[in-house]
Every structure is written in C-alpha cells, then in structure tokens.
Copies of this chain bind each other. A is one copy, B any other.
Amino acid sequence: MRLTRYFLPTLKETPAEAQIVSHRYMLRAGMVRQASAGIYSWLPLGYRVLKKIEQIVREEQDRAGAVEMLMPTIQSADLWRVSGRYDDYGKEMLRIRDRHGRDMLYGPTNEELITEIFRSSVRSYRDLPKNLYHIQWKFRDEVRPRFGIMRGREFYMKDAYSFTLDYPSAVHAYNQMFVSYLRTFARMGLQAIPMQAETGPIGGDLSHEFIILAETGESAVYCHKDMLAFDIFTEDVDYDSDLQPIVDHWTGLYAAADEKHDPEACPVPPGDLVEARGIEVGHIFYFGAKYSEPMGAVATGPDGKEVPVEMGSYGIGVSRLVGAIIEASHDADGIIWPESVAPFRVGLINLRASDAACVSVCDGLYGQLAAAGVECLYDDSEDSAGAKFARMDLIGLPWQIVVGPRGVKAGTVELKNRKTGAREELTPESALARLSA
C-alpha cells in the first residue's frame, strides 16, 4: 500500500484524554478515532490489526473443533425474560424499543440466543458434542467507558458455546477451549495466565480468566511466582485426546483474579506469592444446565432418557487484544507489533521522493515484496526524513527498509528491525531475500 493512497491520519500531540499507553498510541498512530463515548471507528491501520487478531482466534477455534456462525447484534428481550437475565443485567444492557413497541436489546453476550437455536435443532446425543462460536460486535453500556478500546461500550468479541450430554464431556469441551486459548494468545506473542475466576452474571461453578500481566491492568491478580516462568504454550495438540494433563499443568500452581482471591485461604506462602496488575483477554465458563434447563434445551441419551444439555461459554476480547498487545509491546517511540498481528510486515521508506533513482529502487522493491506476498506500507510521501522515521517507528511495523540517495549510489538500502533497533546495510536483493524467507 502506498502511503499517499492510504488513510493514515497520525497525530503529533498526545490527546489529553488518553491515560494509558495503548490508548495514546492507537490515537497517535491513526488506528482508531472516537465516534462517541466508548465507541470507536477503526481507521485502516487499526482495522488491519483487528482482522489479524480475529483470524488467529478463528483458526485456533476451528482447530479445536468449534464451528463458526454469526448471531445478530439486536436480540428480542423475550428470550432474556425466559432465562431471567433481562432484569438481572442492569443498566449495562442497552435496551431498545422498536417501531412496533417491542422490547429489544443490543446483545452483551449470547447464551440465550444460542441455546434457543440449539434447542430448536438438536434432539439426540448422536448430534453431540457441539461447540458453536461467532465473532460479533457486542455492546455494554459502561457507566464510565475508559482506556480507549480496552473498556469501550461497543466491542468485538469471540464467544463460543459448548453443548454436551454429560459432565465428563462438558469438562473435555472446557479443556479444549482452555488449551486453544493458550495457543491463541501465544500466537500473538502474549503470555496469558489462566486464573481462577468468579462466574458473575454468566453463572456456573468452574471458570478461568486468561490474564496478561501489565502495569496498566485494571484488576489485581495473584499467582505463585513460578507461574511467571512458564514457557509460552506453542505445542501442537490433538484436541480429541485427553487434555487434562495440560490443564492440570497450567492450573497446578495458585493463580486467582482479585474477586476470587482470599488472602486468608491462599495456600501460597507470602514469599512465593506475586501480586500484579492484569488485563483480562479471555474468560471461560462451565455452567451446566443454567440455561438449558429453563429454556428446555434437552437431548435424549443412549438410554432413551431426556436430559438438559450441559453447557459452557468461552469468550475472547478481540478488540481489547489490540490494546493488550500494545501494552505488552511498545517503547518510547511507539508500538512494536509482533509479526503475527502487524498491520503490515514491512515499512518501505523513500527518503527522497523527488529523486528518480530512489523512486526506482523503491518501486522495484515494492513490486517484488508484493509479488512475494509480503505486506508492505510504502512511504512515498514528500514529508521530511525525520517525520517519516518518527511515523514508521510510531506505527511499529516489524521491519523497515530505508532507501536514500547515498545508499542508492552505493547500491544499498538499510534494513531495520523495529524491535531490536538493529540496522544493516545491504543490497535491495538481500533485503528482499531476508523478508521473503
């Protein structure tokens, strides 16, 4: 993409309302723009990151056997009256009355709707287990939206729902999501720690939050210090096999979110306990028949008896992850994207847009990178060299190729690694070979 044809409205000044680094950099890098309180437009650069994250989430859900579909954003209030949550949910639910006076709402989550879909289609244990997920915009009318897209009102979330006949299968479904979450976050370069959690308005009696440690985290978390030394989880997994050993390994040491942590009952000696701040990026729940029973979602077992199906739900904050990754990976100059979620892999800087030789080298590299399938943002603008360097560091693409008149005469370009800062002079061909590898 040529910068002159792109839409990248970066800001020099840090907007006053941004209190945390991810919010500051997302505004400054032209990734998002606030539309109204807690509601954001995703500008082209931010949108690309959001889609990369979404795609990783999708691939790992598919790998774990979940099946994708899509439920609407606007739901009827009726289903929520059956489950009893219409009144429970409080003011965070955005309530709407349509032109015919029917009570509707903007879905904050989808347990009711998916249970209704399941109920009207599945009858027998032969159709089980099932895990259905979607990635859709949700709305929670936060009283004080803050931290940009980290605690916005309209947010993008993956939510999966498992249906099984009995408790052991429900635990296996839970474990499948548990392990897929480890892989999902690892692919984004994040160490997410699973922590015991309260189930809150979703209900149920088994729940883990997946937490990224960050100073700017909203909630306190507590864990055994040895958990911090766990290797990031990148193993290939057979999701049909027994996953309990993996789950046991990751839950063997104490780790709990604030509301679940009881200092009196904590089994970890004070010297081994770490107290930190964390960002919740995923939350999984097992809640048995909490929805299937009142809504009549039953299946017939091999014995011919009808039972309410066992359910769990599994969320990942897709839009929030954009901020969480920035919180975990940045420096004083800007964002440092992990390659897996970078909006472009390479930033190509032409230092002198008026120099025919520089343009020729840049155009050549740009075409060859495209042919090699390497996503490249090509700064072909007439801005100053300083402005170009600062912008490219701010938006944090993993690699920069800098083309200037002196290098072009010598037959070289500069390849810079955004993370390490390492720079190397090499021929355009070598730079290309390095990035196409």
Contacts and interface: CB of A to CB of B under 8 A. Distances in A.
Nearest to A113: B35
A80 B23 CA distance: 27
A414 B78 CA distance: 49
**Shortest beta-carbon contacts, A-B, top 9:** A9-B121, A36-B76, A42-B70, A91-B99, A41-B71, A99-B141, A39-B72, A44-B69, A72-B154
Interface string A93-110: 010101100101010000
A76 B47 CA distance: 21
Q: Is chain A's binding surface mostly helix, strand, loop or mixed?
A: mixed
A141 B100 CA distance: 9
Nearest to A48: B68
A67 B44 contact: yes
Interface residues of A, number: 53
Contacts of A41: 69-72, 113, 117
Contacts of A44: 67-69, 132
Contacts of A230: none
A97 to B, nearest CB: 9
Interface in A47-75: 47, 50, 65, 67-75
A86 interface: no
Contacts of A374: none
B94 A130 contact: no
A434 interface: no
A6 interface: yes
A279 B243 CA distance: 51
A120 interface: yes
A62 to B, nearest CB: 9
B74 A39 contact: yes
Given A91-B99, A98-B94, A67 B5 contact: yes
